[in-house]
Chains A and B, each alone.
Chain A
Amino acid sequence: MLVVGLLAFAVSTKLGDPVNNMLGQSATSEEREAMRRELGLDRPFVVQYGRYLGRVTRGQLGVSYRLGIPVGELLAERLPASVELSGVAMLLTLLFGVPMGIYTALRRGSVVSKVILGGSLAGLSVPTFLIGLLLIFLFAVQLQWLPSSGRGQVVSVGPWTTGLLTASGLRSLLLPSITLALYSLALLLRLVRGELLDVLQSDHVRFARARGLPERSIHFRHGLRNALLPVITVAALQLGSLLAFSVVTETVFQWPGMGLLFLQAVQFVDVPVISSYLLLAAVAFVLINLVVDLSYRVLDPRVRSTLGGT
C-alpha cells in the first residue's frame, strides 16, 4: 500500500506542472511563484510526500486544479455511477460468460457452440467504443428506444445515488453495461471453455468416468469445480479491466462516472484527481486480490492446508 501511495504521489508531483495548465502561457513568473507556494509545490520532495500521506490518511485528497472542488467530494459524487456500471457489467459477464463457456465446452461440435465461439472472437476484436457507438446509433438514434447518454433519473439513498431504482435509470444503464460487458464476457467464456476442456481430459476425470459416475456429476461436480479455480483469478483481473474500459464506455455514453472524470483529468493534467483515482484503483485491486486469496482458501483444500498447517 505504501508503495502504491508513493507511486500515486510520484505521479502527483512529477506529472507536469499544473501551474502552467491553470494559469496558461501568458502568466508572469511572479504569478506562477505565488501559485506554486499556495499549492505547496515549492517544498522538498520528502516533505511533500509526508504531507501527502498525512492528508490521504485523513481522507483529504486535495483539490481539483480544474474544477476547484475537493477531490474527495468529486469522487464521492462520481463513485456510485461507476460502481453501478461496472457491477452490472460484471454481473452480465458472469451470468452469461460462465454458462456459455460450459455449454461450448460440453457441446463441442454443435452449431450453437460454433456461433457462440465465433461471436466471442468477434467480441474480442471489435473495439468497445465502436460497439458503444453502434448501439447508440441503432437503439438511440434510429429506433429511439433507449437514451444515448447520462444516467437518467437517479435516487439518493443516503450519500449514494442510484439509478437502479428508477425505470429511466435502468433504461440508461442498459446500453453502457452491455457495451462494457461484451469484451470481458467473450474473454471469460473462452477461458471457462478452455479450462473445462483441460480438466475434462485430466486423469481424475478419466478415473471418475471409469468408475461410472453420472456425466452430470463429472461435468459439474468434478469438472467445473476444478476448472473454476483458475477462472476466479482471471475474473477478478477482469473486474480491473472493466474499470479501465469504463473510461471508454463512460466517454461514449457520457456516463457521469469516475472514468470520464479521469479522462478529463488526464487531458487537463489535473494532478490531484489523477493521483486520487490511481490510489482508489490501487485500493480496489488490493481488495480484489484479497478476495481472490480468500476464495482460494475456501475452495482449494491444498491452499488451505499449506496456510494452516506446517
Chain B
Amino acid sequence: MLLLEGTRRGTRIALGVVAAYVLLAAGARWVAPQPVSDLRTLDLMNASLPPAWQPEGNRAFLLGTDEQGRDVLSGVLFGLRLSMGVGFAAVALAMLLGLAAGLVSGYRGGWLDALLMRAADAQLTFPAILVAMLLDGVARSVLPRSAHPTLGVPVVIGAIALAQWVPFARAARVGTLVEREKGYVQAAQVMARPWWAILLSHVLPNVMGPIVVIATVGLGNAILTEATLSFLGVGIPPTSPSLGALVRNGSAYLPSGAWWMVVFPGLALAGLVLAVNVAGDGLRDGLDPKQRSAVS
C-alpha cells in the first residue's frame, strides 16, 4: 500500500481541489463580489476592464470585467455553481440509469440483456455531444417557448445523463456477469433468496468499485459537455451564467485583446475537470492492483 504513497498524495490533493471548488461554488452567493444578474450594480463605465494587476485594472474587479461591466470573478463563481450542479446531477442520473440497466441485464440475461446492450451499442456510436445537442433541439422545439428558461437546465441534465449511461451500464453488467458466477451469489440462489435481494446485498456492493471510477471520469466529461453545449449556445438558456457561455461571450472580444474574458472562465473550468480527472485516475490505480505496480 505504501508504494502508492506518491500517487495517493496526488489523488488527495486533487480531491482537496475538487472539494475547494465545491465549497466556492456552493458559497458563490456570499463569496462573489457582485451579485449576478442584478442590473442595477452594472456600470458601463466599468466595461471591459482588464484584471486588477494590469495598469488599467480596477481593484474592485480582481479578474476584470466584461463588455457590460460584469465582474468576471463573480461570473466564474456563479458559472461554477451551475456547471458543477449540472455535472453532478447528470452523472448521478446516468449512474442510476446505468446501474439499473447493467445489473438487471447482467443478472437476468436473455432478451432483456440483448435489447439493453444493443441500445448501449447504438448509443455509443453517437457521441455525447451529438446526443445532447439533438435532445436539446427536440426539447426546445417540442416544449412551449415560455418553458425554455425554466426547463433548460433539466433538459441539459437529462441529455448529458442519457449520453453517459452506457459506461455505467457496461461496467455494471460485466461486474454482474463475474459476480453471478461467484460462490456466494450461487449459494444465495440455492437458498432461493429473491433475485433483487441477491442483487442488492451481494452484487451491487461488489461492482461499485469501477462504478465510482467511471463516475469521477464521467463527472469531468459531464462538466465538459455542459460547457461545450453552452459554448455552442444550445443548452442552458443564455440568461444563466454558465462557464461555457462566459467563454462564448468573451470569445467575441478576443481579437481585440480582451483575453481575460475567455481565459479565466476557461482556466476555472479546465482546473476543475483536471482535478476531477486526476482524482479519478488515482482511484482507478488504487482499485486495480495490476495498474498499481504500473504507476510506481
Which residues from chain A sit less than 8 Å from chain B, CB to CB? 11, 14-17, 108-109, 121-122, 124-130, 133-134, 136-137, 141, 148, 194, 197-198, 201, 237, 240-241, 243-245, 247-248, 251-252, 262-263, 266-267, 269, 274, 278, 281-282, 285, 289
Give the shortest distance, in Å, between A37 (CB) and chain B (any CB): 20
Give the shortest distance, in Å, between A244 (CB) and chain B (any CB): 4
In the complex the two chains form, is A201's CB within 8 Å of B290's CB?
yes
A residues near B262, Cβ cutoff 8 Å:
130, 133-134, 137
Given A130-B270, A133-B262, A137-B254, check contact A248 B290 (CB 8 Å). Answer: no
In the complex the two chains form, is A137's CB within 8 Å of B259's CB?
yes
Which residues from chain B sit less than 8 Å from chain A, CB to CB? 124-130, 133-134, 136-138, 140-142, 220, 224, 227-228, 231-234, 244, 247-248, 251, 254-255, 257, 259, 262-263, 266, 269-270, 273-274, 276-278, 281, 290-291, 294, 296
A129 to B273, CA, bound (A): 14
In the complex the two chains form, is B234's CB within 8 Å of A133's CB?
no
Question: 16 A-B pairs, CB-CB below 8 angstroms?
Answer: A127-B224, A127-B228, A127-B244, A127-B273, A130-B269, A133-B251, A136-B254, A137-B262, A240-B125, A244-B127, A244-B129, A248-B228, A266-B133, A267-B233, A274-B137, A281-B126
Q: List the 3 closest A-B pairs by CB distance, nearest first.
A: A16-B141, A244-B127, A125-B274
Closest to A282 in B: B125
B residues near A141, Cβ cutoff 8 Å:
254-255, 257
B247 touches which one: A133, A267, A278 (CB < 8 A)?
A: A133
A134 to B273, CA, bound (A): 18
A residues near B291, Cβ cutoff 8 Å:
194, 197
In the complex the two chains form, is A125's CB within 8 Å of B273's CB?
yes
Closest to A251 in B: B232
A244 to B163, CA, bound (A): 13
Closest to B256 in A: A141
Given A197-B294, A289-B125, check contact A127 B231 (CB 8 Å). Answer: yes
B residues near A243, Cβ cutoff 8 Å:
127, 130
A65 to B232, CA, bound (A): 21
In the complex the two chains form, is A108's CB within 8 Å of B142's CB?
no
How many residue pairs bridge A and B at CB < 8 Å? 129
Given A11-B138, A251-B232, check contact A244 B128 (CB 8 Å). Answer: yes
B residues near A17, Cβ cutoff 8 Å:
141
A240 to B125, CA, bound (A): 7
A98 to B232, CA, bound (A): 31
A residues near B251, Cβ cutoff 8 Å:
133, 252
In the complex the two chains form, is A244's CB within 8 Å of B269's CB?
no
B residues near A137, Cβ cutoff 8 Å:
254, 259, 262
In the complex the two chains form, is A248's CB within 8 Å of B231's CB?
yes
Closest to B250 in A: A133
Closest to B278 in A: A121
A residues near B254, Cβ cutoff 8 Å:
133, 136-137, 141
In the complex the two chains form, is A130's CB within 8 Å of B232's CB?
no
A86 to B232, CA, bound (A): 19
Closest to B275 in A: A125
A residues near B232, Cβ cutoff 8 Å:
247-248, 251, 263
In the complex the two chains form, is A121's CB within 8 Å of B133's CB?
no
In the complex the two chains form, is A16's CB within 8 Å of B255's CB?
no
Give the shortest distance, in Å, between B252 (CB) and chain A (any CB): 11
In the complex the two chains form, is B290's CB within 8 Å of A129's CB?
no
A109 to B136, CA, bound (A): 45
Q: Knowing that A252-B251, A267-B233, A274-B134 touch, tell me 15 more A-B residue pairs with CB under 8 angstroms.
A: A122-B270, A125-B277, A133-B247, A133-B254, A133-B262, A137-B254, A197-B294, A198-B290, A237-B124, A244-B126, A244-B129, A248-B129, A263-B234, A266-B136, A266-B234
A residues near B273, Cβ cutoff 8 Å:
124-127
Closest to B221 in A: A124
In the complex the two chains form, is A124's CB within 8 Å of B277's CB?
yes
In the complex the two chains form, is A125's CB within 8 Å of B270's CB?
yes
Give the shortest distance, in Å, between B164 (CB) and chain A (any CB): 13
A249 to B278, CA, bound (A): 25
Closest to B284 in A: A194
A125 to B271, CA, bound (A): 8
A134 to B277, CA, bound (A): 22
Closest to A265 in B: B137
Give the shortest distance, in Å, between B289 (CB) and chain A (any CB): 11
Closest to B248 in A: A129
A residues near B126, Cβ cutoff 8 Å:
240, 244, 281, 285
B residues near A247, Cβ cutoff 8 Å:
129-130, 133, 232
B residues near A128, Cβ cutoff 8 Å:
228
In the complex the two chains form, is B277's CB within 8 Å of A121's CB?
yes
